[in-house]
Amino acid sequence: MIKYIVAALVVGGAVGYVNGNWGSAVVGSFVSNYVFTGALVLLLFVMGVVFGMDKESMGKMRRLGLRILAFPFAVALGSVLGGLVGGLVLGVNVTASMAVSAGYGWYTLAGPLTSQLFGAEWGALGFTVNFLRELVTIVTVSLTVKVDKYAPIALGGATAMDTTLPVIVRYCGSDTLITAFSSGFTLSIIAPFSIMAIATIGRG
């Protein structure tokens, strides 16, 4: 499954590059505005059907209640601390490094927002780091699941609710669906607030 995903990503990147340089802007706009959104909605619909059919997962969700939020908040804390350590080791702006890490894999948010707050360089880094988080999750899921079946969910961050959800369920088991989706959903909600809060505190 992973090889097909990586192949699709490479082919898509090549097609996008060719169209961006020699193709029509209308085609690019149509793909980004409609095809991408439609594909994402379809993916979430299918995973919702799978989730709804799994009575065990529904029961697990009811039993856990608010405790299910402990996992995504632990992932958020680990991500921000990772940004802190990375900033100190590399000798760069620690606040910006933490803000980049607080994107939790949501690169379309982290790139523009960190660019606005810290400049174009950090915007590019915010996009790249968080995009790589998603890509690494997909490519290494068969390895990280051997460490712990919830490790790929933590690695995927916010993407665990959509783009990395299929591979997570495939390799980690259907019983991880509710944890993956709720974690990704929670991290997606708190990501913009985390980035803004870190930037505000760092400038205070």
Whether the CA torsion 108, 34, 6, 160 is positive or negative: it is: positive
Q: pLDDT tens, 113-132?
A: 999 999 999 999 999 999 99
How many whole angstroms from its chain centre is CA 119?
22
Identify the three-state secondary structure at position 163.
Answer: coil
**pLDDT band at residue 68 under the 50/70/90 scheme:** confident
| Contact criterion met (CB below 8 Å) for 123 and 115 | yes
82: pLDDT strictly greater than 90: yes
The whole-number pLDDT of residue 203 equals 76
User: Between 79 and 46, whose confidence is greater?
Assistant: 79
Lowest mean pLDDT among 24-28, 47-51, 66-70, 155-159: 24-28
Which among 3-7, 21-25, 79-83 has the top mean pLDDT?
Answer: 79-83
**Is the pLDDT reported for residue 40 higher than 90?**
no
pLDDT at 3: 63
Element (H, E) at 104: none
Confidence band for 25, pLDDT divided at 50, 70 and 90: low
pLDDT at 41: 72
Q: Is 147 exposed, middle or buried (0-12, 13-18, 19+ CB in 10 A)?
A: exposed
Is the pLDDT score of 39 beyond 80? no
